[in-house]
Structure 1
Amino acid sequence: MVFYIEACESGSMMIDLPEDINVFSTTAANEQESSYACYYDQERDTYLGDVYSVVWMEDSDQEDLKKESLHKQFKIVKRKTNTSHVQEYGNLTLSHMKLNAFQGSKKAPLNTRQPLPDIVDAVPSPDVALSILKRKYMTTNSIEKAQKYLLEINALLQNKHLIQETMQKIVSIVTESEEQAAQILNSRNRIRDHACYQAANYHFKTRCFNWHAPLYEYALRQLYALVNLCEEGFSLNSILQAMDKVCLLRS
């Protein structure tokens, strides 16, 4: 089995993949970084792809899948994806298998093959909503629409700052130390205490910011701090109480 995973911090999903089972995986990014959107479509006002997935699919479209191996494609994709660090996990011996074992045997006509194009409009996934609004603002000829877009841009930026500030206050209350708070906010621990993190995650979503609302989607980028608090041994009760205190005051 082979996985191609396109997501921010996608390496975190496969970092513990065993090497002694018949599963190979590549990911768009390592466990700590964003993936990148690309190919903005002005007619649809959205990005149509992501750099990693665009590169591997375009490569598959052009290659003879009976001849190209997973390993060769991985090297091509890693070289062309210059926005994030493409990773490979699992049973790496499988990467010597040919692509046709997993993607079919269709062969691209020789006269259609060409070098993969450079991607010039890549945007970090957390900044996609803001980037789309900025593009709309820059291209509209309507004063009313321009004012509307400007208000939406300011709202996104203000909420991003609010979310960052809220998490900083929560961490400061829990740690009761500027030095420890800085460490929590500037490091990335691997999650092991899933019960603590799941409970803290749910509380943050329901009491502070529901990231299913577009204005609060940036809250997803702050959840690493909750992982760090749990992994550094701070009690779940202290984390939940800090959230209640900060978010009730905010509301």
Structure 2
Amino acid sequence: MITMNRSSFPLTVALLALLLSLASGRQSSGAAARRSGRHGEVTDTDTTWAVLVAGSSGYENYRHQADVCHAYQVLKSGGLKDENIVVFMYDDIAHNKMNPRKGVIINHPQGRDVYAGVPKDYTGEQVNPSNLYAVILGNKTAVSGGSGKVIDSKPGDRIFIYYTDHGSPGLLGMPGGQNAYAHDFVNVLKKKHSMGSYKEMVIYVEACESGSIFQGLLPQGMGIYVVTASNAVESSYGVYCPGSVPEPPPGFDTCLGDLFSVAWMEDSDVVDRKAVSLFEQYLKVRTRTSNNGTYDSGSHVMQYGEKSIGEELLYLYQGFRTKPIDVVTYVSEQSKPVGVVNQRDAGLLSLQHQYRNAKEGSKEKEEIRKALAAKIAHRLHVDKSVENIGNILFGKDAAQILNAIRPPNQPLVDNWDCLKSTVEVFEEECGSLGQYGMKHSRAFANMCNKGIPMDAIKKASAKACTNFIKP
């Protein structure tokens, strides 16, 4: 038993008080460190880099380029320099003949122009996986066309990547059907990490089944934190669409934004980015993207990678807004569900509204009717073709096998080369998958997971699509 004489008591009390004071100081400084970012403030020699990617083209996909333009304005208002922001966008929306406000892009029904000032680093066919990977890796000699701008980051720099477009299990869309495969994308991230050319990286992805890009693939220990619009098995959603509430201004026969995307950007527009952490934004975005719990018309926002990075403050990746931004937002009404449209149906909806609003008997109306009929016919053809291939390969068990979902800790497919070859074989024998048909990538992956030889897949595809006329 410890004993204490009377003369030592005042000294002991003083020592205890000192220890308590030191402990309190450590707790306070620890909390402050967490609020300023786990690894401290940004120094004058550290840089925040950003890659913004809209992976689609066409007026019906207006929302993706609107998302990226808005993202640029968020970062620009935060003080990021153009030399550190790389933008991928097809750039066929602002001056499109269907755009009722020529030279202007909006991302909100009452929003300002977000197109002004956006650098067009990679446009048109330059928006492709090869250029994206080269930019992330900082490989100037590997980019083809464009500004040549790359992420020339140093070990102390942070990187923010934002992608928005159509997706499917294991795939992210790019214009012209040049899809980015999850395995390739994650391998690029691994290579970037092995180069030691960044401190930490944050990735936001808006796409259907976007969780499948990282599930079972992205390892810990790479200093990468990912937030996706949906899990590995569900769609993401367009918002501010024709016929929905709130809807676009008159003349806009297309969705203006995507639910996950506008949720994080409209939040970043108004919050103090030096007082809000990535995780706090994730919580707000998760609620809004679920359409306030109505998951039948909303998706599950997911986190992957090193979730501890979520403790860091927004400004480390999105910059710090020094003055109020002139923006109209529905932040105050986020408790109300909004009208949304499945990403895969947004293009169809756009054509339907274009047809409805076109002048009766006009050449334009007839052209839109043909485009609408062709889109519907293509969807039916792709769905039926995949179904027939499955029946040839698996008989009565086809639906169960093609739609099988692997456990959350496993990637979509074990052999990614097999998946790529299966997609190529299908498109050779049955025609392009297109943005809608990408959804069948899980079926193709499951053919590979069952060990079906490529010759058998090719024969089944040829048989299923005997009536398809190859170009």
Q: TM-score range by the shorter chain?
A: 0.7 to 0.9
Aligned match of 2:168: none
Any conservation in 2 of the 1:56–1:77 contact (CA below 8 Å)? yes
Letter in 2 for 1:75: L
Which secondary structure state, in structure 2, belongs to the residue aligned with residue 115 of structure 1?
Answer: helix
Deviates more, 1:231-240 or 1:71-80: 231-240
**In the alignment, is residue 33 of structure 1 matched against residue 234 of structure 2?**
yes
Among residues 5, 8, 12, which one is paired with 2:208 in the alignment?
A: 8
Residue 119 of structure 1: how far off its partner (Å): 6.4
Give the letter for the 1:125 counterpart.
Answer: Q
Q: How does 1:81-230 map to 2 (within 5 A)?
A: 81-82=289-290, 83-107=298-322, 109=324, 115=332, 117=334, 120-144=338-362, 145-175=364-394, 177-178=395-396, 180-189=397-406, 190-211=412-433, 216-230=434-448
TM-score (norm 2): 0.49
**2:272 corresponds to 1:64:** yes
CA distance in 1, matches of 2:393, 2:442: 15
**Structure 1 residues 159 and 141: alpha-carbon distance in aligned structure 2, compared to 1, 3 A threshold:** same
Q: Can you give the 5+ residue segments of structure 1 that lack an aligned partner in the other structure? A: none
AA in 2 matched with 1:122: V
Q: How does 1:240-251 map to 2 (within 5 A)?
A: 240-251=458-469
Higher alpha-carbon deviation: 3-12 or 45-54? 45-54
Shift of 1:152: 3.2
Which residue, 48, 55, 76 being the options, matches 2:284?
76
**Unpaired stretches in structure 2, ≥5 consecutive residues:** 1-200, 242-247, 291-297, 407-411
Q: In the TM superposition, what are the counterparts of 1:11-26 in structure 2 within 5 Å?
A: 11-15=211-215, 16-26=217-227
Note the C-alpha offset of 1:197: 1.0
Residue-by-residue CA offset, 1:23-74 (whole Å, 9 max, x unaligned): 1110011111111112244535332211101100000011000000011100
Higher mean alpha-carbon deviation, 182-191 vs 83-92, is at: 182-191
In 2, distance between residues paired with 1:95 and 1:107? Answer: 23
Distance 1:108 1:14 in 2: 36
Residues 245 and 110 of structure 1, relative CA distance in 2, 3 Å threshold: closer
Do the aligned partners of 1:193 and 1:231 also contact (CA within 8 Å) in 2?
yes
- Whether contact under 8 Å (1:38, 1:119) holds in the other structure is no
For residue 196 of structure 1, what is the amino acid of its counterpart? C
Structure number with larger C-alpha Rg? 2
> Residue type of the partner of 1:137?
Y
Kindly state the Cα deviation for residue 108 of structure 1 after the two structures are TM-superposed: 5.7
Higher helix share: 1
Equivalent-residue separation in structure 1 for 2:333 and 2:319 (angstroms): 21
Task: Name the CA shift for 1:242/1:24 in 2 (closer, same or farther; >3 Å).
Answer: same
SS at match of 2:274: coil
Count residues in correspondence. Answer: 245
Look up the SS of the partner of 2:300 in the other structure: coil
SS in 1 for 2:227: strand
TM-score normalised by length of structure 1: 0.88
Deviation at 1:203, TM superposition (A): 1.2
* Distance across 1 between alignment mates of 2:370 and 2:204: 38
Query: Secondary structure at the residue paired with 2:255?
Result: strand
Greater shift in the superposed pair: 128-137 or 15-24: 15-24
Q: Equivalent residue of 2:303, what SS?
A: strand
| 199-208 or 111-120: bigger deviation | 111-120
What secondary structure does 2:240 align onto? strand
Is the CA contact 2:227–2:303 (under 8 Å) kept in the aligned structure 1?
yes
Distance 1:228 1:73 in 2: 36
Distance in 2 of aligned mates of 1:23 and 1:46: 34
Shift of 1:247: 1.9
Task: Give 1:111 shift.
Answer: 11
- Sort the Cα spacing of 1:75 and 1:108 in 2 relative to 1 into closer, same or farther, 3 A: farther
